[in-house]
Chains A and B, each alone.
Chain A
Amino acid sequence: MKLVLDSSRCTGCESCELACAAFHTNAFDPGRSRIRIANDPYRGESQINVCRNCPDHPCVDACRFDACVYNDRTGFVEVRDEACSRCNACVVACPYDAVFLDPMTELPLICDGCSGIPRCVPFCYKEAIRLE
């Protein structure tokens, strides 16, 4: 499974960021979301950025501590916080700049597909984010 994005359908409501942060952190804190919307209100455009589930997982390859692991069952990468050394190698390795840093813990934020049921998807009425 992977998330399929169509930024041209995004209205910029940012509900996906809130659903993600709420599910993972128990607070509506978009700064800790694993999906990010870059809104340009002046041009009326939005860009969705989230892990693209690259087939070769460069973030997993870059991690020397086995903290970034690919979950065969869900099809998403997961971060084992206790193993992470906060070296940022995964952040640098991501070709889409889709590995973010949690401002509170400094741990990498990578979309883990909410263990198989991504919470952002049902909150995207415009189907700019879909699960395939």
Chain B
Amino acid sequence: MKGYSGKILRVDLGTREMRIEEPPRLWYEKYLGGKGLGYRYLLQDVDAKVDPLGPDNEIIFMSGPFAGTIVPTSSRLAVLTKSPATGTILVSLVGGGVAAELKYAGYDGIIICGRAASPVYLYVSNHKVAVEKADALWGKGIHETEGLLREKYKPEVKSLTIGPGGENKVLYACITVDAYHQAGRGGSGAVMGSKNLKAIVVQGSSGVQIDNDMKSFLNYILEIRQHDVLTEAHLWTDLTGTPGTVDASQEIGVLPTRNYQDGQYEKVAGINSDAVKTKLKRTRACATCPLGCGRFTQAKDGSSVEGPEYETIGLAGSNCDVDDMDTLIRFNKLCDDLGLDTISTGGVLAFAMEATGKGIYDFGIHFGEEEKMLDYVKKIAGRRGVGNILAAGVKRVAADVGGQDIAMEVKGLEFPAFDPRGSYGMALAYATSDRGACHQRAFAIEEDAFGSMDPFTFVNKAEVVKRQQDYNSAKDSLIICDFWRPSPETLAEIYTRVTGWPMTAEELKSCGERIWNMGQLFNQGAGFDRKDDYLPPRVLHDPLLQGPAAHKTFKVDEFTASLSELYGLRGWDESGKVQKEKLRQLGMDDGIAGGAEP
């Protein structure tokens, strides 16, 4: 087998049973790797109604066929589980160098189930797999933990680590790689915490083989880098990194401001890419990535971080009315060390700030209270005082104490930093993403508000959202970073050269659609249907006050029709249920639907 290692490591932390599985070739061809292969295992192994924080939930780490090779942006790992935040299936992707290292250790993926009786970490190398005691690491921040693990093994080892946020099962706790790279969204860190699993250490010592003649492959990749990667369409990564999006979002009026009360921020100069540049030390890249979007910055107090990224700036900056870059760097560093998703943490704090100001519930924090915000991050990670309430995420907190009208979430996942009232394509993308409000499943805004389509209509948006959801599912399975946008033809050719198995652009798109349908099958089994593809009341009823979207009434009827149109394009029924005919078309009538079969 080329590209793939052909081996999956399975570990039950409860019984300490370990075994190596070799998935059939057909699974690799149909599900590709990463998201697809992980979804396939979740559908097979996990009851969709499982308690996400119980021992029967699995957490899966899955690489793609390109990880470990020189294919640009390919060192990304998919983390899969049933999300404790949303109750949906969850895939969250993380960069850094761990995906390549896992391949070098001889595995495509690791599947973990059960729960250890006391804190442990898992050590994985080519010759040894061991469950080790982690009592001495439990309670420590991610940065110290990573350092201790590097000291114990060697500086080059890679780890997947949780901080106190994950240990305390904060529902938006993340998993970290290489200090500042996170599987951020959906609370996979809490699932690791629920299993008493502090970290996974990976140390690899073998190479990845490919089918193609190596010298011709190196020349081919150089061609691709020159003509398809390091091009004007992608080089914003090098020029500004994601903070460049701050001014762009401000211009089109989708920059979340004071818990999405507005889409333009009057103090944007304090948080845009020029502000980041004043703190910039150098640029950084994940393994095998020529784009190098990472910004390593340092605040006045000496705090340094790889970040802050656009999402962190939007959620903790304008959305919390904080325009001080030093505070954002400190917030970023704190979340990264304690193991909290900066998007959801920013969203939760903005909700608490507005709720307090409006007298809905006294969380004791107001917009713009910078030092208090940093203190609240620690409270949330430690579940101390009000932090214990906020650790449940916006949806649950609002259900408990009120404020549902100002709760910006879908399916329990807090909004990313693109206000959908300025991009109806994004509204449909948030409502129908497989893991709740997510900007990465379909980044439809690039075709409407940032592109040439009218952003204030749902006409033709279902096609955009479906196409992107499907294609990104394939990309997230291969796995290629969001920031490189190759054509399906290019990806198919790389796949063929790496694995030696023929692949076409059409088949790749079919793989994407198959994978998207697997996610829907799982969610259907967990009880999700059309009623869960909603948008929060503020989007439907409160117009933005400034920018191109100002005072526009949201087209609720068009949204409803657009949902039906999307289900229709997918071959689902009006309630959003996957139909048998669609399963047959996609080659999924092999029992994969299991208990969830309609």
A interface, CB within 8 angstroms of B:
8, 11-15, 18-19, 21-23, 25-32, 38-39, 41-45, 103, 119, 122-123, 125-126
Closest to B206 in A: A29
Known contacts: A18-B288, A42-B143, A126-B292. The answer to whether A31 contacts B69 by CB under 8 A is no
Count A-B pairs with CB separation below 8 Å.
Answer: 97
Complex: A22 Cα to B498 Cα, angstroms: 13
Shortest CB-to-CB span from B147 to chain A, Å, is 7
Complex: A18 Cα to B230 Cα, angstroms: 19
Task: Decide: A43 and B304 in contact? CB cutoff 8 A.
Answer: yes
Closest to B235 in A: A125
Known contacts: A15-B70, A43-B304. The answer to whether A122 contacts B208 by CB under 8 A is no
Task: Decide: B207 and A28 in contact? CB cutoff 8 A.
Answer: yes
Known contacts: A14-B97, A41-B179. The answer to whether A119 contacts B207 by CB under 8 A is no
Complex: A12 Cα to B283 Cα, angstroms: 9
Using Cβ atoms and an 8 Å threshold, which residues of chain A touch B296? 44
Task: Decide: B230 and A123 in contact? CB cutoff 8 A.
Answer: no
Using Cβ atoms and an 8 Å threshold, which residues of chain B touch A125? 225, 230, 290, 292
> Which residues between 222 and 272 of chain B lie within 8 Å of chain A, taking CB atoms?
222, 225, 230
One of B131-139, B210-218, B405-413, B462-470 at the interface: B210-218
Using Cβ atoms and an 8 Å threshold, which residues of chain A touch B281? 44
Task: Decide: B104 and A30 in contact? CB cutoff 8 A.
Answer: yes
Known contacts: A28-B208, A31-B104, A125-B230. The answer to whether A11 contacts B218 by CB under 8 A is no
Task: Decide: B207 and A32 in contact? CB cutoff 8 A.
Answer: yes
B44 is an interface residue with CB less than 8 A from chain A: no
Task: Decide: A13 and B285 in contact? CB cutoff 8 A.
Answer: yes
Task: Decide: A11 and B284 in contact? CB cutoff 8 A.
Answer: yes
Shortest CB-to-CB span from B221 to chain A, Å, is 8
Complex: A44 Cα to B210 Cα, angstroms: 31
B16 is an interface residue with CB less than 8 A from chain A: no
5 A-B Cβ contacts within 8 A?
Answer: A14-B97, A29-B208, A45-B282, A119-B218, A123-B222
B306 is an interface residue with CB less than 8 A from chain A: yes
Shortest CB-to-CB span from B18 to chain A, Å, is 24
Complex: A2 Cα to B291 Cα, angstroms: 26
B391 is an interface residue with CB less than 8 A from chain A: no
Task: Decide: A42 and B147 in contact? CB cutoff 8 A.
Answer: yes
Task: Decide: B205 and A103 in contact? CB cutoff 8 A.
Answer: yes
B448 is an interface residue with CB less than 8 A from chain A: no
Task: Decide: B70 and A25 in contact? CB cutoff 8 A.
Answer: no
B184 is an interface residue with CB less than 8 A from chain A: no
Shortest CB-to-CB span from A59 to chain B, Å, is 24
Shortest CB-to-CB span from A34 to chain B, Å, is 14
Task: Decide: A12 and B104 in contact? CB cutoff 8 A.
Answer: no
Complex: A22 Cα to B306 Cα, angstroms: 30
Q: Which of B146, B218, B288 contacts A14 (CB 8 A)?
A: B288
Other than A15-B290, A22-B70, A42-B179, give 19 A-B pairs with Cβ distance below 8 A: A11-B289, A11-B292, A12-B287, A13-B288, A21-B207, A23-B215, A28-B69, A28-B208, A29-B206, A30-B104, A38-B155, A39-B97, A44-B282, A44-B304, A44-B306, A45-B282, A123-B70, A123-B225, A125-B225
Task: Decide: A18 and B69 in contact? CB cutoff 8 A.
Answer: yes
Q: Which of B68, B179, B218, B286 contacts A13 (CB 8 A)?
A: B286
Using Cβ atoms and an 8 Å threshold, which residues of chain A touch B70? 15, 18-19, 22, 28, 123
Using Cβ atoms and an 8 Å threshold, which residues of chain B touch A42? 143, 146-147, 179
Closest to A36 in B: B156
Using Cβ atoms and an 8 Å threshold, which residues of chain A touch B222? 122-123
Complex: A31 Cα to B68 Cα, angstroms: 12
Closest to B213 in A: A26
B96 is an interface residue with CB less than 8 A from chain A: yes
Task: Decide: B292 and A13 in contact? CB cutoff 8 A.
Answer: yes
Using Cβ atoms and an 8 Å threshold, which residues of chain A touch B225? 123, 125
Closest to B221 in A: A123
Using Cβ atoms and an 8 Å threshold, which residues of chain A touch B217? 22
Known contacts: A38-B155, A41-B178. The answer to whether A13 contacts B289 by CB under 8 A is yes
Task: Decide: B104 and A29 in contact? CB cutoff 8 A.
Answer: yes
Task: Decide: B205 and A31 in contact? CB cutoff 8 A.
Answer: yes
B180 is an interface residue with CB less than 8 A from chain A: yes
Using Cβ atoms and an 8 Å threshold, which residues of chain A touch B215? 23
B457 is an interface residue with CB less than 8 A from chain A: no
Using Cβ atoms and an 8 Å threshold, which residues of chain B touch A27? 207-209, 214
